[in-house]
Amino acid sequence: MSILVIGSTGTIGSLVVQGLVAQGAKVSALVRQPGKATLPAGVDAVVGDLTDVASLRRAMAGVRTLFLLNALVPDELTQSLQALNVAREAGIERIVYLSVIHADQYPEVPHFTSKHTVERMIETLGLPATVLRPAYFMQNDIGIQPVIEGFGVFPMPIGPAGVAMVDARDIADVAVAELLRRDRAAEALPAITLDVAGPEVFTGASATAVWSQALGRPIHYGGDDVVAFEAQLVQNHVPAWMAYDLRLMMERIQQVGQVPAAGAVQQLEDILGRPLRTYPAFVAERVKKD
């Protein structure tokens, strides 16, 4: 019996695969095309697609534990629901699902509402799952680092409400811990939901100040203009539907923020057995790499 990782080649999924292998777990990874994904030694590549139910059934045969991460795609909801329904058919009773923080508070944002619907399925059907709800990834800012350093502007319009940025490595480590906890249990464990967020809350202005400190020169916040944000994404060849989705997300972040429930950070640190990574440490690491 193995742990099947769906979403195995992205930022989080690849780290989950590596973490599971390091713990000696038997891992299989769903890939779309044979031979294209670079996987750690010993990981079994299983060819399949979330839009192809027959391939999902083949991939889940003999699987004990499932990690489900669905990429931001137009039919994300259909893909996720199909994957979970096939998992039920296959008798999989150990699941970790990667959702998003405050999925229920962003009703106009397509990919948030998709994830909230999946959460409702898990709750309504009583699926034995851990739902991980991560906040804004620190790694999102790798893509804007050239703008910050080259033009002296922090262009991400995260606004004034506050975002508890979290390192993708911490998200993956929590996912690995939960997968192993469920996989190694003698029987299916009750469902739980975890906010996965960093230890500090940042606004657009305070995140900008972190970069100013790390670079040793003034960096300016680019402001809260989400229309300009959307236009810039399209200019950078992001599909129009995705750029609009992300614009709606940023607008809601400005309004309600992404701050975890009380006690969530301590709960995560108890799971990891160590402190969570901080945004200033992440930025300092990125600047040093340059």
Tell me how far apart the alpha carbons of residues 270 and 193 are, in angstroms, rounded to a whole number.
15
**Which pLDDT score, from 0 to 100, does residue 282 have?**
98
Q: Which residues of the chain have pLDDT under 70?
A: 1, 36, 290
Can you give the pLDDT at residue 22? 96
Residue 33: the pLDDT is 82
One-letter amino acid at 63 equals V
* Cα 237 to Cα 254: distance, rounded to the nearest angstrom: 24
CB 85 within 8 A of CB 57: no
pLDDT tens sequence across 96-144: 999 999 999 999 999 999 999 999 999 999 999 999 999 999 999 999 9
Using CA atoms, how far residue 38 sits from 23, 151, 171, 233, 262, in Å, is: 19, 35, 21, 28, 39
Calculated CA dihedral for residues 202, 170, 11, 287, nearest 10 degrees: 60
Q: Which CATH architecture has domain 2-135+166-197+259-276?
A: 3-Layer(aba) Sandwich (3.40)
**How far from 165 is each of 21, 31, 132, 162, CA to CA, in Å?**
27, 29, 15, 9
The predicted pLDDT at position 66 comes to 98
- Domain layout of the chain by residue ranges: 2-135+166-197+259-276
Task: Report the SS3 class of residue 47.
Answer: strand
| pLDDT score recorded for residue 159 | 97
Tell me, what's the pLDDT at 37?
74
Cβ atoms of residues 16 and 67 within 8 Å: yes
- The values of phi and psi at residue 29, to 5°, are -130, 130
pLDDT for 1: 65
